[in-house]
Amino acid sequence: MRHFFDPHLVNDVFGDPVLYVDFLEERRALLFDLGDIRALPPRKLLRISHVFVSHAHMDHFSGFDHLLRVVLGRKNAVVLFGGPGFIAQVDHKLRAYTWNVVHRYEVELVLEAREIGTDGRLQRARFSSRAGFVREPCAALELAGDVLHDEALFRVRSRFVDHGTPCLAYAVEQKAHVRVAKDRLAALGVCTGVWLRELKGAVLAGAPAATPIQVRWRDRQGEHEMNRSVGELHDLVLDVVPGRRVGYATDLCFTEANVQTLEQLFGGVDRLFIESVFLDADRDHALRKNHLTARQAGEIARRVGARSVATFHFSPRYEGREQALIAEVDAAWSGPQGGVPADAS
Ligand SMILES: [Zn+2]
Ligand SMILES: [Zn+2]
């Protein structure tokens, strides 16, 4: 089945955590974390409209330079989100270079940094190539609950978890949408036509049920036409489908507060991407490092009701033993439907 978006991990389980969410029909993408992104070809980097950084440890932020180098002179805008201190971190990255020629580039690049405070406020600043990437402040925004970014067809939510430092976990959610039930269309004896687009548009815009729709179509017998209302047609040929939901959580310790935060963010997600850095035999070490063990990751996946799980960010000490980590996640999760194994893609 073709989805509205397709999330995949850019690196293998021992590489830096980076999730690329490809919006197949829109020629654009979202990026979660910005560590080593060299595996992404420039054409894929150029599709990125928004980057969501969990925290600024090097394995999550060192790819900033590579992204900037690829998009500079070729793309107009990239918006980057991060936690406390993020605007200064972006500013410092930019200040590390000499920008005496970029103001002449034909394509202006504007980087917008958005910093999520633990108080629910969103500070913003912009950096334009025309001005040598000098920091320009923008008005702060008040966030609506945990919704960080909202578009017509999808939203991104986020919440802080504890990693010895505040770290953001993210959820990407396609909004509920309407789908044409082709079999019922045939049973009704009508064919597709422009009227279906009108109907979908009316439903999505919340038009009253009595709104008339002229159903017109053409087949071998010629032109046909009938008048129906939005309400009638909605029930007859449209299904409201819940949107696909994907969760991304990395770099956190296993505390009850963290698990509850993830339950609020991820309840019932279709796919959960979650770190499992250590085997549970090394759980004391995991706690000291503020990371999850594979068993803890599986337990979180079970508690949030994830329908499928992908795991990553394995410690190099387990090189050659990745199956042991995956099996441990799987055993603790053993999905709600059972039988669907955790994987690492
Ligand atoms: Zn990390
Ligand atoms: Zn970290």
**Which ligand has its closest atom nearest to the C-alpha of 162?**
2
Share of the chain above pLDDT 90, in %: 77
Average pLDDT for residues 4-18, to the nearest whole number? 97
pLDDT reading at 163 higher than 50: yes
The per-residue pLDDT for 338 is 45
Measured CA to CA, the distance from residue 319 to residue 96 in angstroms comes to 35
Mean pLDDT, rounded, of the chain: 93
Average pLDDT for residues 235-260, to the nearest whole number? 94
- Predicted model pTM: 0.88
Q: Are 313 and 32 in contact (CB under 8 A)?
A: no
Measured CA to CA, the distance from residue 243 to residue 173 in angstroms comes to 7
Burial of 66 (0-12, 13-18, 19+ CB in 10 A): middle
* Distance in Å, CA 246 to ligand 1 centroid: 19
The per-residue pLDDT for 24 is 85
Amino acid at 61: F
* Distance in Å, CA 58 to ligand 1 centroid: 8
* Distance in Å, CA 222 to ligand 1 centroid: 63
Average pLDDT for residues 4-11, to the nearest whole number? 96
Average pLDDT for residues 280-305, to the nearest whole number? 97
Q: Return the structure tokens found at 164.
A: 């010895």
297 φ, ψ to 5°?
Answer: -60, -45
Q: Return the structure tokens found at 134.
A: 């000098």
Average pLDDT for residues 120-124, to the nearest whole number? 95
Average pLDDT for residues 32-55, to the nearest whole number? 98
Amino acid at 25: E
- The dihedral built from the CA positions of residue 274, 278, 282 and 285, taken in this order, carries a sign that is negative
Measured CA to CA, the distance from residue 34 to residue 283 in angstroms comes to 27
* Distance in Å, CA 253 to ligand 1 centroid: 12
* Distance in Å, CA 313 to ligand 1 centroid: 7
State pLDDT tens for residues 179-230: 888 888 888 888 888 898 889 888 877 889 999 999 998 888 888 998 999 9
Kindly state the helix (H) or strand (E) to which residue 168 belongs, with its residue range: strand 166-174
Measured CA to CA, the distance from residue 168 to residue 249 in angstroms comes to 8
* Distance in Å, CA 200 to ligand 1 centroid: 43
The per-residue pLDDT for 172 is 98
Single out the residue of 121, 166, 122, 149 nearest to residue 21, CA to CA.
149
* Distance in Å, CA 296 to ligand 2 centroid: 17
Measured CA to CA, the distance from residue 33 to residue 67 in angstroms comes to 12
State pLDDT tens for residues 293-343: 999 999 999 999 999 999 999 999 999 999 999 999 999 998 554 445 667
State pLDDT tens for residues 46-71: 999 999 999 999 999 999 999 999 99
* Distance in Å, CA 165 to ligand 2 centroid: 8
Give the confidence band of 26 by pLDDT, cuts at 50, 70, 90.
confident
Q: How far is CA 115 from the centre of its chain?
A: 17
* Distance in Å, CA 235 to ligand 1 centroid: 48
* Distance in Å, CA 294 to ligand 1 centroid: 15
Where helices occur in 206-255 by DSSP H, the ranges are 230-237
* Distance in Å, CA 148 to ligand 2 centroid: 21
Q: Are 319 and 14 in contact (CB under 8 A)?
A: yes
Query: What 3-state class would DSSP assign to 137?
Result: strand
**Number of C-beta neighbours around residue 307 at 10 A:** 15
Q: Are 35 and 16 in contact (CB under 8 A)?
A: yes
**Number of C-beta neighbours around residue 116 at 10 A:** 23
